[in-house]
Chains A and B, each alone.
Chain A
Amino acid sequence: MLEKTLNGSKWYWRWIILLLALMGVGFASYMLQLNQGLAVTGLSRDVSWGLYIAQLTFLVGVAASAVMVVLPYYLHNVKVFGRLTVFGEFLAVAAVIMCGLFVIVDIGKPARLLNIMLYPSPNSILFWDMVVLNGYLLLNILIGWNVLDAERKSVAPPGWVKPLIYLSIPWAISIHTVTAFLYSGLPGKHYWLTAIMAARFLASAFAAGPALLILLCFLLRRVSKFDAGDEAIRRLSVIVTYAMAVTVFFVGLEFFTAFYSQVPGHMHALEYLFVGYQGKGNLVPFMWTFAFLAVVALVLLLNPKTREKENTLKIACAAVFISLWIEKGLGLVIAGYIPNAFEQVVEYVPTAPELMITIGIWATGAFVLTLLYKIAVSVKEESELSIYSARYARVKPVGITVSQDSGKTGGM
């Protein structure tokens, strides 16, 4: 099926070349970082994880969200999602690949990466994160590829795929739970030390991921013959609505616990994020953008009229994605380090090479996603075309000799 990536319109190739160029710039910046060390980033002794790990956290959520089309289709027989599952799975593949790349660029000694496997340490959540993320990547490649290949050949997917699909459902929950445990089990990091971290992560993942999938569906409708269908998009938008409402509710719970209890450690990080702390507040404008976009998204989503209209739904989905990227991809990781162990504030600002590496990895993710979606769309276009032609063949006048095998035309 890979050959389908080699056949595209002029715009397809322009997009591919743009992504390759961005990947090249990112790679060159990474070479600089490899040579100079993480000194080229804005990270410090006090804020020792930044943009890279924040992207990892956010993208694990995007990956996990594939379960929001897989679960309704396979467990609740929501038929309209049948056409979408492979797109959910391929989105997960691209997202997990980005996660892996963000881990690699974040570590100080990438040449020793395999030490995680050579000296397995089950007591470390990072070890488990490695296990579940790699497992999830493998599951989604196997499932997505085989189901699509079966569709291309108009046969049922091999029998061993079904158990893997069922396994992928709890596995998706596990990747984001384990990623939340990276943070929520550390003594002394008050902003992270919260029992609802995993629940928050899952809720925001199930809002941001399907929101992105809706936007991708609209995009595919424009650039290809593949149409996910209004009903599938409508159902996805309901999922986004519930998940976004729960996410905002969970953020509110954090505020209540911190400010009603008045325990200083619990308030500091939130103060830093929204009003500034000790006179420092680089993230304040970002967090208010988050708050504003979250409200916009909720208003547009909760109102059925705006949720069902394409243009307002697109705005709502973009608002969900961007606001949650800020909340989880920026605020959560950085504010965990503020204030530091000595109640001092050392701020973090990413540098140009750091941003270029980050953009390069996003471009890599987009590249992988483009190729996988190109394959999936081509297969769907073909198989749907043949279904239509088969139907067309069947209603043709009986006089023409196509009646013998007309029912099997779809199998070509």
Chain B
Amino acid sequence: MKMHRRNFLRIGGACALGLGFLPAVKVLAGSDLSKVMADPKALTGKKWGMVIDMKKCWEQGRKNCDDCITACHKVHNVPDIGNIKEEIKWIWTEPFENTFPEFKHAYMAEAIKGKPFTVMCNHCDNAPCTRVCPTKATYKRKDGIVVMDYHRCIGCRYCMAGCPFGARSFNFRDPRPFIAEINKEYPTREKGVVEKCNFCEERLAFGQLPACVEACQEKALIFGDLADPNSEVRKVLSSNYSIRRKPELGTEPKIYYLV
């Protein structure tokens, strides 16, 4: 069969058009139903958040207790590089003056001077990191958790520049040799990608609380749904004075501190 150039182009064009429509069809005709059945025990929320009661931590906790940090870094295969420049951390402590620089002054109460504050990703409601990411490797889930796709991240570190809380770490080298004991339930990372706290979304999916919350014997970390007025976080927030880091930047952090 002899095909004329014009017909060939017509058919080719129609095929290309069809391919172009395919994604639109997928969006319009697709359903919202997940392809994978969620675990019936899964914890679901609309706006996960956390209240950290530092007083409980200082008064009732052991001296230099770091249970929450150890638990988190263990389950998430966070390496111990042993070098401040390449440090990878999901949850750690900083002195009050560094966590809340705008509140420090010359006549601070001894009770708070230099006291360690537990810091982590704030899972901002209006997160700058997700806004700047050029590949959507970091994004906010429907339940408010800001997560990372380690397989999509190109390592441009724009999110690190965008985060005003210093919550993000970059794998400057292969992290695997620096993990004491690998937890096979959670992926390790490769060199060249960014990582941070994920509010233990992998544990919530199976009905478990975040590892740091579970590890804290003093119950200083309270996790819950900020959208649910009957949740424990909401009750604690409505009956206590709480502060957030750098609220003036408008990122709407979802980690609240009681002092």
Contact = CB atoms under 8 A, between A and B. Distances in A.
B132 A39 contact: no
B165 interface: yes
Interface residues of B, number: 48
A119 B137 CA distance: 9
A43 B101 CA distance: 25
Contact of A109 (B133, B153, B166): B153
A36 interface: yes
A39 B156 contact: no
A44 interface: yes
Nearest to A343: B101
Interface in B58-99: 84-88, 94, 97-99
Nearest to B130: A123
Interface stretch (A124-132, A204-212, A302-310, A315-323): A124-132
A257 interface: no
A108 B98 contact: no
B135 interface: yes
Contacts of B85: 43-46, 346
A107 interface: yes
Given A45-B86, A45-B169, A49-B161, A342 B98 contact: yes
Contacts of B251: 187
B134 A116 contact: yes
A37 B134 contact: no
A130 B158 CA distance: 14
- What 6 pairs across the A-B complex have the smallest Cβ distances? A108-B155, A188-B164, A108-B192, A341-B166, A44-B85, A37-B191
Contact of A344 (B98, B131, B173): B98
Given A37-B173, A123-B132, 9 more contacts: A39-B173, A46-B85, A48-B161, A108-B157, A108-B170, A108-B191, A121-B135, A341-B165, A341-B166
Interface in A20-65: 36-39, 41, 43-46, 48-49
B160 interface: yes
B166 A340 contact: yes
B136 interface: yes
Nearest to B169: A45
Contacts of B87: 45
B164 A187 contact: yes
A341 B164 contact: yes
B132 A36 contact: no
Interface string A103-136: 1001111101101101101011111001000000
A189 interface: yes
B25 interface: no
A294 to B, nearest CB: 27
Interface string A336-358: 11001111101000000000000
22 contacts: A37-B191, A45-B170, A46-B85, A48-B157, A49-B161, A108-B193, A109-B153, A115-B154, A118-B135, A119-B152, A121-B135, A124-B132, A124-B133, A187-B128, A187-B164, A187-B250, A188-B163, A188-B249, A337-B161, A341-B164, A341-B165, A342-B101
A17 interface: no
Contact of A343 (B88, B98, B133, B156): B98
Given A37-B191, A125-B132, A186-B132, A115 B152 contact: yes
A43 B161 CA distance: 13
A126 B133 CA distance: 8
B94 A342 contact: yes
Interface of B: 84-88, 94, 97-99, 101, 128, 131-137, 152-158, 160-167, 169-174, 190-194, 246, 249-251
A103 to B, nearest CB: 8
Contacts of A124: 131-134, 158
B166 A107 contact: no
A121 B86 contact: no
Contacts of A108: 153-157, 170-171, 191-194
Contacts of B101: 342-343
B98 to A, nearest CB: 4
Interface centre among A107, A109, A340, A344 (most CB of B within 10 A): A109
A48 B193 CA distance: 12
Contacts of B157: 48-49, 106, 108
Given A45-B86, A186-B161, A116 B135 contact: yes
B134 A121 contact: yes
A130 B135 CA distance: 12
Contacts of A188: 128, 163-165, 246, 249
Nearest to A36: B173
Contacts of A41: 172
A123 to B, nearest CB: 5
Contacts of B193: 108-109
A388 to B, nearest CB: 49
A372 B5 CA distance: 39
A37 B162 CA distance: 22
Nearest to B126: A187
Nearest to B249: A187
